[in-house]
Amino acid sequence: MFVPCAKENDVIFEGYSLILPAISIGNVGQLAIDLLIYNLDLKQVGYLYDSSILPLVGNDPFTSPKIQQGNLVTSAEVYKCDEKKLVVVQLRAPLAKGCRQIFCDRIVRWIKECRIKQTVLLTSCIASERLDSQIQSGPFRYLLSPETQHLNEIFQKNFNWRCLEERNGEERSESDVFLPGGGVSKRFYKTCCRENIPLVTLLVFCAEGDNIPDAMILLYFVNIWLQMKVNKHDAASDKLQMNKGENRLSSF
C-alpha cells in the first residue's frame, strides 16, 4: 500500500503519530490536513497506492496559481515530520464503492507494520443531526478507542473537551457510534477497536459550505493536544496561516 517517493528510500515510522482524514461532510478533515501540510511545511515521503482509493491527479495545491511548478499531486500522499514525529496522510479522492472495509483493513495493517504509536482521525459530522444537548455546546468532539482511554482524563480535565455523546434508545455495542456524514470514520473506528489500534477521532459538527473555518477549528484542537506550533513563519505563534493560493483539490 505504501510506496516511498525515492526508489532507495527506506522510510521509518516507528513511534510516530499518524494523522489522517476521513472523507466526510464539508471535506473538513482533508482541509485540515492541507492546512497542516502547508503550515508545518511537511515533506512528502511517499504515496498510498491501492485499488480501494479512486485515482485523481492535479497540480500542486500549495503554490500560487500564478507560479505553477507542475508538481503532480495524486489521490493519496504520505508526508512526514521527523522533528515532531508525525506521519500525515492526505486523501484527495473518495474510496472505491464497496471497498471501504478493505481500505480500513489495509490502513490498519500498514499501521501495524510501521509500528505507529497512535492514530488521529480528523473527520466531521452533519450539524443538523445533533441532539439538543449537542447544539448547546461548541462543535468539537472527540472519540477514543479502548486503547486510548487513558487520554480521557487529559482531554476532559486539562483541555475541557467534550467526548462524543452516546445516542440513547437503541441497544448498541461498545464500538457502535453515530457519525452521520463521517464517511468511513465509523468503519475505521470499529476496525481499530477490533484490531487494538490506539485511535483518537477528532471531529467537528458542520454543514456543507465554505468549510475552511471548520478545518481551522479542528486543527486548532489538534494543536492544543499535540503542540505542533503550526505556523511555519512564526514558530512562537499558534495562529494558522492559509495558503494564499488555497485551493480545494478533492474529488467529489
**Which residues inside 123-182 make contact with another protein, applying CB under 8 A?**
126, 128, 179-182
Minimum Å distance from CB 24 to another protein? 6
Residue 159 identity (one-letter amino acid): F
Residue 117 to residue 177: CA distance in whole angstroms: 23
Among 13, 16, 47, 79, binds another protein (CB under 8 A): 47
- Burial of residue 234 (CB within 10 Å: 0-12, 13-18, 19+) is exposed
- The smaller minimum CB distance to another protein, of residues 18 and 125, is found at 125
CB atoms within 10 A of CB 27: 28
CB of 28 to another protein, least distance (A): 9
Q: Which of 15, 43, 55, 159 lies at the binding interface for another protein (CB under 8 A)?
A: 55
Position among 3, 131, 163, 242 found at the interface with another protein (CB under 8 A): 3
Nearer to another protein, 82 or 208 (CB): 208
Question: Taking the complex as a whole, how short is the minimal distance between the CB of residue 77 and another protein, in angstroms?
Answer: 10
Sheet harboring 199-206: ordered strands across? Answer: 2-4, 43-48, 76-81, 86-91, 17-21, 118-126, 199-206, 140-144
3-state secondary structure of 2: strand
Q: CA-CA-CA-CA torsion for 123, 140, 210, 55, nearest 10 degrees?
A: -10
Binding mask 18-37 for another protein (x = CB under 8 A): -----xxxxx--x-------
Give the separation between CA 142 and CA 202, rounded to whole angstroms: 5
Distance from C-alpha of 133 to C-alpha of 248, rounded to nearest angstrom: 33
Smallest gap from residue 243 Cβ to another protein (A): 10
Closest approach of another protein to the CB of residue 146, in Å: 21
- State the residues that interact with another protein by CB under 8 A: 3, 7, 23-27, 30, 47, 49-61, 65, 68-72, 74-75, 92-94, 96-102, 126, 128, 179-187, 207-208, 245, 247-252
